[in-house]
Amino acid sequence: MTEQYGLSLGKLLELTLAGREPAEKIQLTSSGTRLQWLEEGALLVKPAASEDTGFDVLLSAGIHGNETAPIELVDRLLKSIARGEIKPRVRILFLLGNPEAMRRNVRFVEQDMNRLFNGRHALMSGFEAQRADQLERLVSQFFSEPKRARLHYDLHTAIRGSAIERFALYPWSEGRTHSQAEMARLEAAGIDAILLQSKPGITFSAYSYAAHEAEAFTLELGKARPFGQNAGVDLSKLESGLRALIEQREPPRPEKPEHLRVFRVSREIIKHSDNFKLHLADDVANFTALPEGYLLAEDGVHQWIVTETDARIIFPNPHVKPGLRAGILIVPCTPAGQAVLS
């Protein structure tokens, strides 16, 4: 059966870009791994029962359709599984988040899908809102089995360059603490910094973290480029880490990260109206340091002046819709701040 993989489920990306359904919805590899097409851009992988270690891993990419390096990474992993080169010992749900935006090579069609989770899609209309609802239902079904470990990596690349190229955003939820063991896993996979969120979020990883108690992260992996132009995006260490995770052969690692740079959110810059002005160059990089006293943004009577010591900016984007964040001010965690991790 592995010789037939390429005709159908191993080519989930090709099927998705073409807007086609596979002729066969279920396939098996020679090692007994089961591949099941669920719906557009969604594929479930189940190991043979004797190999299942009780771990559920959700790998999503393409929530923003023009962030292609992570999509190509997911494609390589899935094809290797379908060929029998990777023999999973975990359940995996592969999700290509925004197929229509992928086909158009745009970030989104109508609205930013990664601001539509944790129920926010119910307040909106249009294609992305419907797809966010669909993705939440797929994730709910995937994470419905009790007594299994749960992990979600939502893979992205950024609009602009970054002084720290590979970093992760760790969601927040009432009553939960951030896991140093999971941060050490990310460090081993080539992630250089992590940003600890301080309030509930509306992103895809925030949904998995809050609604299903999965360990969940948004991974930013370089700058967005078109399909086939990602030679400059080095995901080799992450890809090796994901392969080891899928096969459950990860080498021993420290109980906590050793060199990972840890930041926390200080403030979000919220755009209130179309009069919003962000006083940064269009090409300023993520993690750019800002001096105290700097007038960062203004919007009518609202002003954002940097009062934090050692503040940095990430995701500056004055072109978002009113009501959404136009940037995040972050600061390095103090030792006391790090002590809350578990």
Q: Decide if 324 contacts 273 (C-beta within 8 A).
A: no
Q: How many residues would you count in the chain?
A: 342
- Residue ranges for the known binding site for Zn(2+) are 64, 67, 156
- Per the rule left: phi > 0, alpha: psi between -120 and 50, beta: everything else, 159 is alpha
Catalytic-role residue among 100, 136, 165, 220: 220
| Residue owning tokens 């592995």 | 2
Beta strands 193-196 and 261-270 are: parallel
Q: 304 to each of 80, 195, 308, how far by Cα in Å?
A: 48, 21, 11
Calpha distance 139→131 (Å, rounded) = 12
- Cβ–Cβ under 8 Å, residues 227 and 105: yes
Binding residues: 64, 67, 156
CA atoms within a 13 Å half-sphere pointing along the CA-CB vector of 31? 18
Catalytic site includes residue 220: yes
Q: Which residues are catalytic, by number?
A: 220
